[in-house]
Amino acid sequence: MDRPPTIPAGIPTDARCRRQTDPRVHWPTTITTLADLRVLKQSEAGLVVAGTASAGDAVVVKIRRLAGVKGALRALLGMTPMARAWRTAARLRAVGIATAQPLALLAGTSGRERVEVLVLPEIAGRTLLARLADRDLPEPVERVAAGNIADMVAHLASRRLANRDHKPSNIIVGDTGRPVLLDAELRTAPPAEAAARMLASLAIEPSGVGITLPRVPTARVLRLVASRLAEHGVDCSARDLRDAAAAIINRHGDPTPKDNPLAPPDTTE
């Protein structure tokens, strides 16, 4: 039986590259020499930090513990969350969804822990969840953002794809209203069902941290998703989508997240 998980102590110094997009970059060295390092998230499973690489590029480094022999075997077979994230990003890119494209996938040790490391570009902007909490976008940009988020939902759903992790903390929205998907877990589903699932995900997380979705932008998203799906021959109204999403939300139960994504990272060990 695997021992209880512990937080990796930090970035591994013995990392080995398994995949990378630019062979000219020596990522095992680069991740150990990041400037302006800051912790974005820390949990039992791992650590997420951001920093500046020697070439001046802002990157995010995700470090995840590989629990015991089972975790090491899953990494070898490409069955870990980070390996899936690499494949999912390629799949999203292939269907035209803006997403953070991984730069490198590495493996190494941190302290006495086996860890896997995923390096991504840092996307400028704030999470949709933070935007909803602060309502910091001007009304014209908010309208643009709502339209772009609706397009993202409809684009995936029209291809019979549902992102099971389509929560606002996984979407970065830039100052111009352009959304970029950070993480995704894709499943196939009929278009209307896929859209309803993603719309429900967009609502569940905010409710769990005490945020009420703004009425007008939310209604706009529903109308636009229905309209975009109609262009692909999917017969469902905004009311149909609203009701289907509401049913999913009602079945979900307590929406309170285990870790509040709006809270500052806990860096204590």
Per-domain residue ranges of the chain: 16-121, 126-252
pTM: 0.89
- Per residue in 130-149, pLDDT (tens digit) is 999 999 999 999 999 999 99
Q: Which CATH class is domain 16-121?
A: alpha beta
Lowest mean pLDDT among 50-64, 128-142, 233-247, 252-266: 252-266
More confidently predicted of 2 and 10? 10
As a CATH number, domain 126-252 is: 1.10.510
Lowest mean pLDDT among 77-81, 137-141, 166-170: 77-81
The conformational region for residue 138 under phi > 0 = left, psi -120 to 50 = alpha, else beta, is beta
Residue 241 has pLDDT above 60, yes or no: yes
Q: Report the share of the chain in percent with pLDDT over 90.
A: 75
